[in-house]
Each structure stands twice: as C-alpha cells, then as structure tokens.
C-alpha cells in the first residue's frame, strides 16, 4: 500500500524552510559537534554518583549551546551515551501497560532532560542544582545530604510549593547562567521574586497526547517554556508499539512535526509569530522548535502543534495525526 501524501507535504515544507532560513549565530566558545559525539570533550564534565558535574558555568553554557544546535538524531546519540540515568533515558526507555502510568516528566527542556538524573539533579563543583519547575532550580551544598533528600521528596512541576523550600536550599531562576549557583556564585545572591501571570498571559504551558491505532501509538506534546534567557516553543513526537500489552518506543516510517507560536510582551500585546516544521524517516524521536531571547508570554490558541506519523505494520501504513492547542489558564 502506498504511503500517504503527508510525507510529500512535510518534506516540501522542510526543504523550503532550509532554503530560506538564515544562518544561526556562531559563538567562539561553542564546542565542536563532532568533538562532543566522539567523546573528546569529557573534560567539560564528570559523572559522580549518577550526577553530571560541570567545571564552570562558562563551559556548561558552551556545552549546552552546542547541544542545542545539533539535529535531533545526533543529539539523541550524544545523550544516550551519557553515563547518567537521565530523565531523557527514562522517558525514551519507558515501558508501560496503562497509558495513565506512562512517565511524563514536568521538565520541558529536552537538553536538560538528557543532562539531569532521574532526581532532576546536576552539579557545579560543590553546588547541587535540582530542577523543581521549568523556571526554577534549588541550589544546595552537595555535602548536605539531609537537604538533598528533603529536596528529592518535594513535589515538583505544577505541584511545587514555593513556601516549602528547605532552610539550606536557595531558589534560583533558569533565566540567567550567572545567577545559577545562588549564594555560592560570583554574583551576589538576591532572593528570587516569583513572577505572576499578567492579564491572562502565561509563559509556560504543555499539552500532551497519546493516540493509539492497532498495535501502535503516538506520544506527542506541544509546549512553551523558558530556559537560560530564551523563551522556547516546540512540538515533540515519539512513536510506540504495543507488545503483549506493553507500550515501548519504536521507529516510525515517517514523523513530521510542526510548531506555531504567537508571542506577546509583558502587557500581553502581540509581538511576533514563528513556526517551524521538521521531519524524519525511520526514527523514534523528532522535534520542531522555535525560540526568542527574552521573556515572551502566551494565551490559549497562541501555541499550536501538529504531528503526522506513518508506521509500517507489515506493509500496511498506519496513519496518525495529533493536533495540539496549549491552554494557558
């Protein structure tokens, strides 16, 4: 059976995007993609007790920005090679029977999902950093096991209680690299002021779906979040197969993902619009992503995503279509 013309449609869009897209910025501190994939840059981090540790904020920033410039398949290979039981590995390796029990981490940044362990931790020197929401991290002394354990027990994501921070932990924002270390950093620590939504405008939001067709399924999510000074919007897709009642990740014959984002300023006035479409064949993970530096807000209907998938089931092409509209309530 012939596959659907959605493949042709997506590939034509991608080709046009490549032709007309502008060149990305170049940073003198950015590491070589090949060096990272060939494991020639391990001096930028070490792994101790299942925690990835970086020597300096500057090296971490260069490392992150290099990963951010990689295509999805190269990034996936790099993150799978880390000797850390990361959130990304658990997410991609998840096997479940009841879809309600599937692993759905709150953390939206795919790169940080590959760096942090399953406790959402990474480290700089003697400072342990733990994600508690997409925008906020708790910093603590790595030697303070009691505080570390208290942080691990905290509800995270949308359930995080900002009034329940352990006494010896410090809340920091993911907005700036230089303030990441809290009171242990070179920049004087200033207590974080929690931002509130203005006129119904919200920065972070996620819409997740699982579509099932026969013995296969499509997990996808559309989201917006802030990371290291950038507001990011993206659509992510992962195909799964059902074997003996269990779901697990599988390659799709074709994956096409699209993201569309209207961005607003702090007064909720429309600033600009961005969209991107990406596609791959014989793959199990794909993103379409856009980003803008600074603080951008959204309302319901501003961020939308589309996923098209075809999967070969014994020469019968099963088609999937997920449409996302992120709700900002």
| Nearest residue to 184 via CA among 232, 249, 131, 123 | 123
Q: Sorting pLDDT into bands at 50, 70 and 90, what band is 16?
A: very low
Model pLDDT, residue 26: 39
* Tens digit of each residue's pLDDT (9 = 90 or more) over 165-180: 999 999 999 988 999 9
Indicate if the pLDDT at residue 253 is higher than 90: yes
* Tens digit of each residue's pLDDT (9 = 90 or more) over 296-329: 999 999 999 999 999 999 889 999 999 999 999 7
E strands present in the chain: 45-48, 51-54, 121-124, 127-131, 136-141, 170-173, 205-213, 216-227, 230-243, 246-249, 252-264, 270-283, 286-293, 303-313, 316-325
Q: Sorting pLDDT into bands at 50, 70 and 90, what band is 4?
A: low
Indicate if the pLDDT at residue 115 is higher than 50: yes
Rg of the chain in Å (alpha carbons): 20
Residue 304 Cα distances to 267, 269, 307, 322, angstroms: 21, 18, 10, 11
d(CA 63, CA 60): 5
Model pLDDT, residue 266: 85
* Tens digit of each residue's pLDDT (9 = 90 or more) over 68-92: 999 999 999 999 999 999 999 999 9
Mean pLDDT of the chain: 87
Indicate if the pLDDT at residue 13 is higher than 60: no
Instruction: Looking at mean pLDDT, say which of 31-40, 174-183, 273-282 comes out highest.
Output: 273-282
Indicate if the pLDDT at residue 42 is higher than 60: no
Top CATH class of 197-329 equals: mainly beta
Indicate if the pLDDT at residue 38 is higher than 70: no
Enter the tokens of residue 324: 């996302």
The pTM assigned to this predicted structure is: 0.86
Paired sense of beta strands 121-124 and 51-54, if any: parallel
Indicate if the pLDDT at residue 195 is higher than 80: no
Q: What is the sign of the dihedral through the CA atoms of 139, 202, 162 and 193?
A: positive
Percent of the chain with pLDDT over 70: 85
Instruction: Give the bridge partners for 262, in sequence order.
Output: 273
């Amino acid at each position: 059976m012939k596959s659907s013309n959605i493949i042709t449609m997506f590939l034509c869009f991608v080709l046009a995007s490549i032709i007309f897209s502008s060149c990305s910025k170049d940073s003198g501190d950015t590491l070589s993609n090949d060096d990272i994939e060939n494991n020639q840059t391990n001096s930028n981090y070490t792994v101790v007790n299942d925690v990835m540790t970086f020597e300096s904020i500057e090296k971490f920033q260069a490392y992150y920005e290099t990963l951010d410039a990689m295509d999805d398949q190269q990034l996936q290979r790099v993150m799978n090679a880390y000797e850390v039981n990361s959130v990304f590995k658990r997410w991609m390796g998840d096997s479940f029977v009841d879809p309600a029990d599937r692993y759905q981490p709150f953390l939206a940044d795919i790169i940080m999902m590959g760096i942090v362990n399953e406790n959402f931790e990474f480290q700089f020197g003697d400072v342990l950093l733990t994600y508690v929401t997409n925008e906020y991290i708790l910093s603590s002394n790595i030697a303070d096991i009691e505080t570390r354990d208290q942080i691990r027990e905290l509800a995270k994501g949308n359930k995080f209680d900002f009034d329940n921070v352990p006494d010896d932990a410090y809340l920091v924002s993911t907005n700036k690299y230089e303030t990441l270390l809290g009171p242990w950093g070179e920049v004087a620590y200033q207590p974080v002021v929690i931002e509130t939504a203005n006129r119904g405008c919200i920065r972070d939001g996620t819409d997740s779906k699982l579509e099932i067709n026969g013995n296969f399924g499509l997990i996808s999510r559309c989201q917006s979040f802030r990371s290291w000074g950038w507001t990011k919007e993206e659509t992510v897709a992962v195909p799964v197969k059902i074997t003996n009642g269990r779901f697990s990740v599988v390659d799709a014959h074709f994956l096409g993902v699209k993201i569309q984002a209207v961005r607003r300023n702090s007064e909720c006035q429309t600033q600009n619009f961005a969209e991107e479409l990406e596609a791959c064949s014989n793959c199990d993970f794909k993103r379409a992503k856009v980003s803008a530096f600074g603080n951008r807000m959204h309302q319901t209907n501003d961020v939308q995503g589309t996923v098209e998938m075809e999967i070969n089931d014994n020469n019968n092409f099963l088609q999937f279509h997920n449409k996302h509209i992120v709700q900002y309530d």
